[in-house]
Structure 1
Amino acid sequence: MVAKFDLNDDNVVVVIGTGAGGGVLSNELAQKGVKVVALEAGGRYLPEDYVNDEWESFGQLAWTDPRTTSGDWRVSRDFSGLPAWIVKAVGGATTHWAGASLRIQEHEFKTQTHYGDVEGASLLDWPITLADLEPYYDKAEKKLGVTRTNGIPGLPGNNNFKVFEAGAKKLGYKEVSTGRMAINPVDYDDRLACQQTGFCFQGCKWGAKWSAAYTDIPRGEATGNLEVRENAQVARILHNDEGKVTGV
């Protein structure tokens, strides 16, 4: 049952956005009995709505509102009003992402130590380590169904991969495989396996690629604790004199 909360209900948690952050958080809270209103700037599209056409899909999912940018980079100088391929829809970037799900490597937490002082850069070591994040990586990989983790096989290589594989082996590489992806190689989590259609960026019509749009959001709504308000763009966050958030 999809919840419906009053605009003046101060007992709800308001979450802005329904992507990898907001969508997952909304579901996690709803599963624990917390009342949640998730505000989404765009509409709702599901696998049956996605379009296997790059240009048409851009018009369906992308942030095409008039926009501007600043600075001295070329986009600002020459294309300041260029629409951005940022999804404005329930599920956010999890609809558009490629699904690549790699862990940060141990040495990357110590960039300053590893690379030393680099002219023009302000490298710093992270205050945490890979070991600190591993329990959360484990949980995320299981939730998303990341290939080559938790006994999930890798995706089959497409023709592009086979060309790279042949070249790598010719150069002497011994281990060559498809990467860790949040795309089902087999049926998983009530979602179909990848059908190798090739329109991952336009929304997966099979639901094989993990997206909050058809996993966390409907599961949160099913608890009766989550209301998603579509086409509700947040312009600003309101505060009182003490700095406490009072509304959006």
Structure 2
Amino acid sequence: MTTYSFDDDSVVIIIGSGAGGGTLANELCQKGIPVVLLEAGARQSPATFINDEWPSFAQLSWGDTRTTSGSWQIAKDFPNLPAWICKTVGGTTTHWAGASIRLQEHEFRARQMYGDVKDANLLDWPLTLAELEPYYERAENKMGVTRTHDIPGLPGNNNFQVMYNGAKKLGYKECSTGHMAINSRGRDGRAQCMQLGFCFQGCKMGAKWSTLYTEIPAAEATGKLDLRTRAHAVRIEHDAKGRANAVVYADAQGQLHRQKGRIVAIAGNAIETPRLLLNSSSAMFPHGLGNGSG
């Protein structure tokens, strides 16, 4: 187990161990770069996953009290749970369905295709599909996405068979189980899908790609990863030039620690990342880090 000191400012600090953070940690560690990976949740495994919806929800989800405002139904029914996000090593890659679909070419030109949309800041992407394709290829190969790289598709279950027959009767030319980051056959030391039906509760077969048992163990094997679980980031600090240089986090007992670093990468999901940036306000950034537009 690798441990870096709190004063080691040579490390890259990554907040969040899911699809972004866990993958980035491995890529950096493979290049010999020291990484401190902060994960707010605990570490589970295929052996500890629970094939029961409600106990699994308690095991994997971010259950910290939060509030939701407004008149929409979610705010009335679930005021402190606006979204199911995960608080566990591997993040939402433990909970996701595995669907791995590429954006289509026209979707990169949304403004050009659809024009102005009222009350929306619609923009074209600054990238094209052609520019992203090499990275799609690399990601699909790494995750073992079906129907790419000569990987066969997953077999259809009974629900799919009903949908397939209906689609054919309606005249659809294409209907399949799609592009899924779930092994349709054994690959990279992970078993094939056994159709257990509990993808959202963590894959007990390890067939579904998750940084929990792919990227993070590979990073640990390099000796360059210091994974700290139950480490809840509180704020990001910066130097006189405004460059991030430390993260303050609370451990499982609520004790605060300050980890120095040369770079801070925030990969905490769509709710926790902006929360952390807003909470990291300072005299130089009174409205939070990265918030120059309100």
Which TM bucket (shorter chain)?
Answer: over 0.9
Partner residue in 2 for 1:144: 143
AA aligned to 2:26 is N
Give the conservation status (yes or no) of the 8 Å contact 2:100–2:145: yes
Alignment RMSD (CA, Å): 1.4
| Matching of residue 161 in structure 1 with residue 160 in structure 2 | yes
| Matching of residue 89 in structure 1 with residue 97 in structure 2 | no
Partner residue in 2 for 1:99: 98
Partner residue in 2 for 1:13: 12
Partner residue in 2 for 1:198: 197
Give the conservation status (yes or no) of the 8 Å contact 2:61–2:87: yes
Give the conservation status (yes or no) of the 8 Å contact 1:183–1:194: yes
Distance in 1 between residues matched to 2:140 and 2:98, nearest whole Å: 11
Q: Deviations over 1:99-150 (max 9, x none)?
A: 0000000010111111223334332211111001000000000000000000
Once the two structures are overlaid, the 10-residue window that deviates more, 191-200 or 81-90, is 81-90
- Say if 1:175 and 1:73 are closer, same or farther in 2 by CA, change over 3 A: closer
Task: Tell me the percent identity.
Answer: 62
Q: Deviations over 1:143-185 (max 9, x none)?
A: 0000000000000001111001000111122332111000000
Q: Give the match's secondary structure for 2:44.
A: coil
Q: Give the match's secondary structure for 1:234.
A: strand
Distance in 2 between residues matched to 1:84 and 1:120, nearest whole Å: 24
Distance in 1 between residues matched to 2:3 and 2:118, nearest whole Å: 55
Q: Give the match's secondary structure for 2:108.
A: helix
Once the two structures are overlaid, the 10-residue window that deviates more, 137-146 or 76-85, is 76-85
- Say if 1:110 and 1:57 are closer, same or farther in 2 by CA, change over 3 A: same
- Say if 1:209 and 1:78 are closer, same or farther in 2 by CA, change over 3 A: closer
AA aligned to 1:166 is N
User: What is the deviation of 1:41?
Assistant: 0.2
User: What is the deviation of 1:239?
Assistant: 1.6
- Say if 1:152 and 1:77 are closer, same or farther in 2 by CA, change over 3 A: same
Partner residue in 2 for 1:43: 42
User: What is the deviation of 1:83?
Assistant: 6.9
Give the conservation status (yes or no) of the 8 Å contact 1:65–1:83: no
Once the two structures are overlaid, the 10-residue window that deviates more, 78-87 or 180-189, is 78-87
AA aligned to 2:197 is G
Q: Give the match's secondary structure for 1:237.
A: strand
Partner residue in 1 for 2:271: none
Matches within 5 A, 1:1-248: 2-76=1-75, 79-82=78-81, 84-248=83-247
Partner residue in 1 for 2:256: none
Q: Give the match's secondary structure for 2:111.
A: helix
Q: Give the match's secondary structure for 1:152.
A: coil
Give the conservation status (yes or no) of the 8 Å contact 2:74–2:82: no
Q: Give the match's secondary structure for 1:93.
A: helix
- State how many pairs are aligned: 247
- Say if 1:132 and 1:228 are closer, same or farther in 2 by CA, change over 3 A: same
Partner residue in 1 for 2:288: none
Q: Give the match's secondary structure for 2:226.
A: strand
Distance in 1 between residues matched to 2:15 and 2:187, nearest whole Å: 29
Structure 1: gaps of 5 or more residues: none
User: What is the deviation of 1:78?
Assistant: 5.3
Tell me: higher relative CO, structure 1 or 2? Use CA pairs within 8 A at least 6 residues apart.
1
Q: Give the match's secondary structure for 1:94.
A: helix
Give the conservation status (yes or no) of the 8 Å contact 2:68–2:82: no
User: What is the deviation of 1:242?
Assistant: 2.1
- Say if 1:134 and 1:214 are closer, same or farther in 2 by CA, change over 3 A: same
AA aligned to 2:154 is L
Give the conservation status (yes or no) of the 8 Å contact 1:66–1:83: no
Give the conservation status (yes or no) of the 8 Å contact 1:63–1:83: no
User: What is the deviation of 1:65?
Assistant: 1.2
| TM-score, structure 1 normalization | 0.95
